[in-house]
Amino acid sequence: MTIFQKNIELLRRQDAELAAKILKASGGTLSIHPAKSGVPTAVVKNRAIHSAYDPIREGELWANHQTENCQPGEILVVLGVGLLYHVEAMCSKLAQGSVIIVIVPDLSELADVFSVRSLEGWGDRICWVWGNPEQMALQVAQQASRFRLLTYEPALLIHPKEYDAFRSQLRDQLAEGVHGRLHIMVIGPIYGGSLPIAGYVVRALEALGHRVSWVDHSLHDPGYQHLNTIRDARLRLTVQQRFSDMLGVISLAHVAEDPPDFVLAMSQSPLSMAVLEQMRRKKVMTAMWFVENFRHLTYWQQMISGYDFWFVMQQGACLDAFKNAGASHVSYLPLAADPTIHQSVTLTSEEREELGSDVSFLGAGYHNRRELLPELLRDEWTFKLWGNEWEQAGRLQTVLQRNGERIDTPTSVKIFNGTSVNVNLHSYTSEGFDPNGDSVNPRTFELASCGAFQVIDQRTLLPELFDDSMMSVMRTPEELVSVVRKYLHEPEQRQSMAENSRKRVVMSHTYLHRMQTLLSIVGLASPDRIGGILRGDRQAESLLARSRDYPELASLLESFPKTDRVELVDLAKVIRQKGPEAKLNRDELLILMMDEYRQEKRDFV
């Protein structure tokens, strides 16, 4: 009997259907060679999947490293098949009875393994999950409430899209099952484009049922702006930096006062590396949603190791750049809209008079806009230009509204609603359209959410967010006038497309969706802490079920409503409420003692 036949026999006892499929699989995904140590190793497209010298030792090192963070009771889900040396090593490290799930996106790859590696003695401990990404994610979500994803990166590269899709599906599955309540601290910038986004994020997180503390540094904006009166540029920059550093320390004080489970900083928030290091020392998990073009604003490079999680609005080169710079977790998270703010509104006749027009553009005066928008100065339609940073606007001065003042959100919603054709040109510091233009700006989502029609310049990431039935996409700057003219004469088409885009936002592109995705990514990467809370592990009901060995503790937990999240501070509060005459048992005294140390903040800032 060959190794392959023995392995198939073993597998048949676990999963007869899979065994039958492996028998039919073609194999040949892995190119197999002997390693220096004599055991087989594998190569795919000239990339080594295992060590060319000693794959067994390599697998052991991987397993040692991975198990450092594993918690008892977790089910381990391994991504990356290869020749399974790493899985075998993991089996030998874990106690009998622990479950290891291996995700199999390609049966041909598994057939290759079965041909050269004996699974005898450890293969029967593996639960094989196979199928398309959606099916696999569903199986994992159904089988395991507490699991930890372990990735064997070299083998992940064989089927990167399938694994990405699996992770994405799994996140969605988990997001649906979230019922725990986190305490999230959102730290905003002093000013700038990410400031309103911070507000939308706060609303979304609250709407999802989490407790949110918003550290709103825009309160300090007048003081910060006043520093512009310092004439010496170097001196001004130094003082501004000190000012910003102090706001970082203030953020730290807020964290100390009411420790969150998770800090979400928006781009431009004034958190220095020293502040982030202190948060890490205090075990506060941090994330940054970097809603900037990574090519233009590059301060992320200095901050990369400061955050546990990075969320960016660009893919491809951006994700690679962050990973190469040392980001431990970086994920794509596009912008969105808040339909409770960005919505259809009816303008009064006075508002329509001021804010309405055939064609409008709202945004800052970047170079490409200054070059292109004068094309819209025509007698055949009314054109209004809104927004700031339009000094020396030239011919555009005649259509610049409100003397180029900054337009607030409620007004911008009215402008979007009062305009027949909204022009949405992404910013670019040169002429025409940005040839590397990938990310989609917030205005795209906001216009769509308002049910307002827009013509937009082409962006590589746009098609996966909106399609051609939702907005008119210009491939070249030369199309601008003709597209505007076309749609100005097709009101029904405009309305239909705008309504499609609005529905798409409501279905997939609200800040609620983004925060669900963000939290499920963090929860997946931190299954014991954030993931546990999101699953409801900290709810009284769950805690009670796990506290049978401590009857005094259990009786305390019984005093909480079943779905309430219970932390040390809550237990301590209940104990203290027993009053001055109370005689406390050992467990109660221990809880109070730990709470005393939890409260200590003297070395926080």
Partner 1 sequence: MPSWNADLPRMLIIQLARLGDLLQSLPVLSSLREKYPESFFDLLCPFPLESLGECIPGIHQIIPWNGEDWHVLAREWEDTFLQSFPHAVEYFSRFPSIPYSLVYNLNNHPRSILAAHLLGTRVVGAGDQGPLNTNCSPWVEYLRQVAYERGPNRIHLADAFCGICGVKPPRVLPGIQSKDIQLAADLTRVMEDSSTSKIGIVLGAGDNDRRVPVSTWCRLIEASAEHLPNSMCVLIGGAGEREAALALEDKLSPHYHSRLLNCVGRTTLPELVHIFNHCQWVVGSDTGPLHLGVACGARAIGWYFSRARVHETGPYGVGHYVWQHQGNGQSGNCREQLFNHHPENPCTWPINETIELMQGQGSSGGLSGWELWTGHRDDWGMFYLNEEKLDVAIAERKNIWERLSDMPFKQHSALKSHSINTGCSA
| 528 sits near partner 1 (criterion: CB under 8 A) | yes
Binding of partner 1 by 538 (CB under 8 A): yes
In our burial notation (b when 16+ CB lie closer than 10 A, e otherwise), range 468-481 reads eebbbbbeebebbe
Rounded to whole angstroms, the Cα distance separating 242 from 245 reads 5
User: Which region, judged by CB under 8 A, interacts with partner 1, from 28-36, 231-239, 473-481, 536-544?
Assistant: 536-544
Near partner 1 by CB under 8 A, which window of 94-102, 439-447, 455-463, 576-584? 576-584
Q: Which of 72, 97, 435, 561 binds partner 1 (CB under 8 A)?
A: 72
Longest dimension (CA), the chain: 88
CB within 8 A of 348, min separation 6: which ones?
none
Q: How far is the CB of 567 from partner 1 (least distance, A)?
A: 7
Q: Is 584 in the site for partner 1 (CB under 8 A)?
A: yes
Burial 506-532 (b: 16+ CB within 10 A, else e): eeebbbbbbbbbbbbbbbbbbbbbbbb
* Residue 602 within binding range of partner 1, rule CB under 8 A: no
Give the range of 128-136, 294-302, 402-410, 590-598 binding partner 1 by CB under 8 A: 590-598
Helices (H) and strands (E) in the chain, counts: 26, 18
Report, in Å, the least distance between residue 528 CB and partner 1.
6
In DSSP notation, 90-152 reads HHHHSPTT--EEEEES-HHHHHHHHHH---TTTGGGEEEEESSHHHHHHHHHHH-SSEEEEE-
Alpha helix ranges (H) inside 329-408: 349-355, 367-372
Query: Pattern 143-182, binding to partner 1, x per CB under 8 A?
Result: ----------------------------------------
* Residue from 195, 184, 199, 243 nearest 218 by CA: 195
Ramachandran quadrant class, 34 (left: phi over 0; alpha: psi -120 to 50; beta: rest): beta
Pick out residues in 444-483 that bind partner 1 (CB under 8 A).
none
User: From the list 45, 231, 296, 586, which residue makes contact with partner 1 (rule: CB under 8 A)?
Assistant: 586
218 binds partner 1 (CB under 8 A): no
Please say which residue, 234 or 597, places its beta carbon nearer to partner 1. 597
Contact pattern for partner 1 over residues 273 through 302, marking x by CB under 8 A = ----------x-------------------
Closest CA to 177 of 498, 505, 519: 519
Binders of partner 1 among 355-374, rule CB under 8 A? Answer: none
Cα gap 459→425, rounded to integer Å: 10
**How many CA within 13 A on the CB side of residue 24?**
5
- The answer to whether 450 and 413 have CB atoms below 8 angstroms apart is yes
# residues near partner 1 by CB under 8 A: 37
- Looking at 406-441, list the stretches that DSSP marks H as alpha helix, in order from N- to C-terminal side: 409-418
- Residue 33 in contact with partner 1, rule: CB under 8 A: no
- 191/550 with CB nearer partner 1: 550
Give yes or no for residue 505 binding partner 1 (CB under 8 A).
no
Closest to partner 1 by CB, 450 vs 543, is: 543
CA distances from 52 to 40, 41, 81, 111 (A): 9, 6, 17, 21
Which residue, chain included where needed, has tokens 């669900």? Answer: 516
406 lines the binding site for partner 1 (CB under 8 A)? no
**Binding to partner 1, residues 234-273 (CB under 8 A):** 259
Smallest distance from the beta carbon of 596 to partner 1, in angstroms? 5
Return the H-helix or E-strand segment holding 523: helix 511-525
Pick the closer one to partner 1 by CB: 246 or 594.
594
List 37, 64, 69, 71, residue binding partner 1 (CB under 8 A) = 71
Binder of partner 1 out of 590, 601, 604, 605 (CB under 8 A): 590
Q: Is 529 in the site for partner 1 (CB under 8 A)?
A: yes
Q: Are the beta carbons of 271 and 189 closer than 8 angstroms?
A: no
CB 517 within 8 A of CB 334: no
**Structure-block tokens of residue 597:** 């140390």
At closest approach, how far in Å is the CB of 543 from partner 1?
Answer: 7
Binding flag, residue 68, partner 1 (CB under 8 A): no
Give the nearest distance from C-beta 589 to partner 1 in angstroms: 5
Verify binding: residue 581, partner 1, rule CB under 8 A.
yes
Q: Are strands 383-386 and 183-187 parallel, antiparallel or unpaired?
A: unpaired
Q: Which of 367, 546, 562, 573 binds partner 1 (CB under 8 A)?
A: 546
Under the binding rule (CB under 8 A), the answer on residue 70 touching partner 1 is: no
Q: How many residues are listed for the chain in this entry?
A: 605
| Contact region with partner 1 (CB under 8 A), list: 7-15, 248-256, 463-471, 574-582 | 574-582
Instruction: Give yes or no for residue 568 binding partner 1 (CB under 8 A).
Output: yes
Query: Beta-carbon neighbour count of residue 577 at 10 Å?
Result: 9
- Footprint of partner 1 (CB under 8 A): 71-72, 259, 283, 528-529, 537-538, 543, 546-547, 549-550, 553, 567-568, 575-576, 578-584, 586-587, 589-590, 592-598, 600
